[in-house]
Chains A and B, each alone.
Chain A
Amino acid sequence: MVLKVFFPSCCSSAESGILIGRWISEQNSAVILAVVHFPFIPAQVKQYLSEVQQVTKVNVSVLGSWSNSKQEKEESLSKFLEDLGTIFAHEPWIQISKEGDSKFWNCSTLQKHSNNPKEEEIILVYYDQRKVMLSHLHPPLDTAPSTDHTSDDASKLSAVFDTVARSKVLFMTDRYDDGPIKLTHWQSDGVEASIIVELLKQAAVPACMLLTFLLSLIAGVCRSRVLKVWPLSFLWSKLSTCEQLGHRLQHLQLISSNKKAQTQAQLMRKANIFVSLLIDVALGILLMSWLYRKNRIGHLADALIPVADHVAEELQDLLQWLMGAPAGLKMNRALDQVLGRFFLYHIHLWISYIHLLSPFIEMILWYVGLSACLGLTVALCILSDIIALLTFHIYCFYVYGARLYCLKIYGLSSLWRLFRGKKWNVLRQRVDSCSYDLDQLFIGTLLFTILLFLLPTTALYYLVFTLLRLLVVIVQGLIHLLVDLIDSLPLYSIILRLCRSYRLA
Chain B
Amino acid sequence: MEERRYRSASGAPIALRCRQHSASCRELAVRCPRLQLRSLSAVTSAVWLAAYGLFVLSENSMVLSAAIFITLIGLIIYLHFVKIDQESLLVIGSLGIQVTSSYASGKESTTFIEMSQVKDVVINEAIYMQKVIYYLCILLQDPGDPQAVSEVVPLFQSSMPRLDCLIEVYKSCQEILEHRKTVPQSS
Contacts and interface: CB of A to CB of B under 8 A. Distances in A.
B94 A153 contact: no
A121 B116 contact: no
A270 B72 CA distance: 42
A2 B187 contact: no
Contact of A156 (B22, B23, B114, B187): B114
B24 interface: yes
B22 A121 contact: yes
B114 A121 contact: no
Interface string A1-43: 1101000000000000000000001111000000000000000
What 9 pairs across the A-B complex have the smallest Cβ distances? A2-B94, A153-B144, A153-B143, A26-B186, A156-B116, A1-B183, A157-B114, A155-B114, A156-B114
Interface string B143-187: 110000000000000000000000000000000000000011111
Given A26-B187, A123-B95, A125-B95, A2 B24 contact: yes
Contacts of A153: 143-144
Given A26-B187, A152-B143, A123 B25 contact: yes
Nearest to A25: B187
A293 interface: no
A259 interface: no
A149 interface: yes
Given A121-B22, A123-B94, A155-B116, 9 more contacts: A4-B95, A25-B187, A26-B187, A123-B24, A123-B92, A152-B116, A153-B143, A154-B143, A157-B96
Contacts of B187: 1, 25-26, 28
B144 to A, nearest CB: 5
A25 B185 CA distance: 11
Contacts of B93: 2
A1 B92 CA distance: 13
Interface string A240-282: 0000000000000000000000000000000000000000000
A9 B61 CA distance: 56
A55 B92 CA distance: 35
A1 B182 CA distance: 10
A149 B92 contact: no
Contacts of B23: 121
A28 B117 CA distance: 18
* Residue of A28, A153, A156 with highest tally of chain B CB at under 10 A: A156
Given A4-B94, A25-B187, A26-B186, A121 B24 contact: yes
B: contact size bracket: 20 to 34
12 contacts: A1-B187, A26-B186, A28-B187, A123-B25, A149-B144, A152-B116, A152-B143, A155-B114, A155-B117, A155-B143, A156-B116, A157-B114
A27 B114 CA distance: 13
B160 to A, nearest CB: 29
A135 B35 CA distance: 37
Contacts of A28: 187
A28 B185 CA distance: 9
B117 to A, nearest CB: 8
A155 B95 CA distance: 11
A498 to B, nearest CB: 15
A154 B117 CA distance: 10
Contacts of B185: 1
Contacts of B94: 1-2, 4, 123
Contacts of B117: 155
Nearest to B23: A121
Interface in B99-152: 114-117, 143-144
A146 B183 CA distance: 28
Contacts of A149: 144
A154 B144 CA distance: 9
A325 to B, nearest CB: 45
B143 to A, nearest CB: 5
A234 to B, nearest CB: 54
Nearest to B179: A2
Interface in A148-172: 149, 152-157
Contacts of A1: 94, 183-185, 187
Interface string B65-106: 000000000000000000000000000111110000000000
Contacts of A155: 114, 116-117, 143
Nearest to A4: B95
Interface string A367-406: 0000000000000000000000000000000000000000
Nearest to B185: A1
Nearest to B143: A153
A157 B94 CA distance: 11
A353 B156 CA distance: 73
A82 B96 CA distance: 32
A182 B23 CA distance: 38
Nearest to A155: B114
Contacts of B96: 157
A134 B59 CA distance: 58
Interface string A122-161: 0101000000000000000000000001001111110000
Contacts of B95: 4, 123, 125
A90 to B, nearest CB: 16
Nearest to B117: A155
Contacts of A156: 114-116
Interface in B11-63: 22-25
Contacts of A125: 95
Contacts of A26: 186-187
B93 to A, nearest CB: 7
Nearest to B116: A156
A104 B144 CA distance: 40
Nearest to A122: B22
A240 B20 CA distance: 67
